Structure 1
Amino acid sequence: MSRQPWDLTFVSDPEEVAALRRLMRLQLGLWGLHELVDEAQLCVSELVSNVITHVGHGTPVTLVVSVNGTRLRIEVHDPDTRAVPTLVAAEADSECGRGMALVDAVADRWGVLLHRGRKVTWCELDTGIMPASDHGCGPGVLRAETLLDVYATTKAPPASTIGDRLNTIMAEEAVIGAITDFLHWLRAHGKDPDEVLDHAQTRFESQIREFEATTRPARNRPVKRRN
């Protein structure tokens, strides 16, 4: 699915941290990276809190989040190139110096980039996503990626529209092809196609039962006879 980088500029303040955590949860949910929410929220909290503590309240900060290959990258930009985060051995009961230690514990790697007039503190988390070059079913996976994007942003056309364009056999073949592509996509991303099919079948049967339950009274309603 499409995972376009995004950025947000704000003023450093403790109240912003909670909002940033909610934003990270929402964005990672849209990207299908639910399993990284806790680690990503912790990293954002600590990186922004580090700016608040060592650079100061009211500092203009930019949060940049992107997916690079198989890694989720989180960057925090601020204008102070002197206050460089460092990894220190903080005591267990210490309230200071633990921020970057926590980031170091959950992130695969992190670092600091110094530019003219700004610094970038970044960290990366492994997403578990297979790179495109490793997707053994290339064309099918790419088609499934496109279908996922379309499905997420548009509503399916009414059945009459499909019927006007395709006869029954062609429509059935198109559905089979789409399902096959999605199975390739699931396998390429480390999912179990059989398990997903079972869940889909269970959901389908449940929806059918609900539909029949709501329509059965109308069908079975006794007809009043006229005298």
Structure 2
Amino acid sequence: MTLTVRLLAVPQAAPMVRHAVREHLGPDGHPDAELCVTELLANVIAHVGPGTPVTLRVTGRATRTRVELTDPAPGVRPVPRCADEGDESGRGLALVDALAVRWGVTHGPGSKTVWCEF
């Protein structure tokens, strides 16, 4: 079963995507997936721009879950940063890397998808 949600990447969408992931995965869901989808959304907002149309896809259930966020900016590649102690941002992909079994980026015609698996 796959959950697909199309939305605009705006800060107000973060609670909605977390809720959608939680509802899809059920009571034994994966809180790390909720956190990671929020980080992926925040990256689109920060690096592609607020209001960018995105598509969230969640496949699987609690025992094996894949979260994908697709945006229309294939040239804007997510790059993990080494945030300094005083930095207020720059830790999102480090969190995804720490929480997910694996993560990556795939490119399509006119889009990119950042995905992570749990």
If the length of structure 1 is used for normalisation, what is the TM-score?
Answer: 0.49
Aligned length: 117
Equivalence for 2:23: 26
Matches within 5 A, 1:1-227: 4-29=1-26, 33-34=28-29, 36=30, 38-67=31-60, 71-125=64-118
Q: Which amino acid aligns with 2:19?
A: R
Tell me which structure has the larger Cα radius of gyration: 1
- Deviation of 1:33 (Å): 3.0
Residue aligned with 1:64, SS: strand
Deviations 1:186-226 (CA, angstroms, capped at 9, x unpaired): xxxxxxxxxxxxxxxxxxxxxxxxxxxxxxxxxxxxxxxxx
Two-structure CA RMSD over aligned residues (Å): 1.4
- Deviation of 1:74 (Å): 0.2
Q: Give identity over the alignment, percent.
A: 44
If the length of structure 2 is used for normalisation, what is the TM-score?
Answer: 0.92
- Deviation of 1:86 (Å): 1.2
Q: Which amino acid aligns with 2:82?
A: A
Q: Which has the higher helix share?
A: 1
Q: Which amino acid aligns with 1:55?
A: V
- Deviation of 1:96 (Å): 2.2
Q: Which runs of 5 or more residues in structure 2 are unaligned?
A: none
Deviations 1:39-88 (CA, angstroms, capped at 9, x unpaired): 011101000110000000111100000018x5200000000011111112
Give distance in 2, aligned partners of 1:92 and 1:73: 31
Give distance in 1, aligned partners of 2:18 and 2:117: 16
Q: Which amino acid aligns with 1:33?
A: D
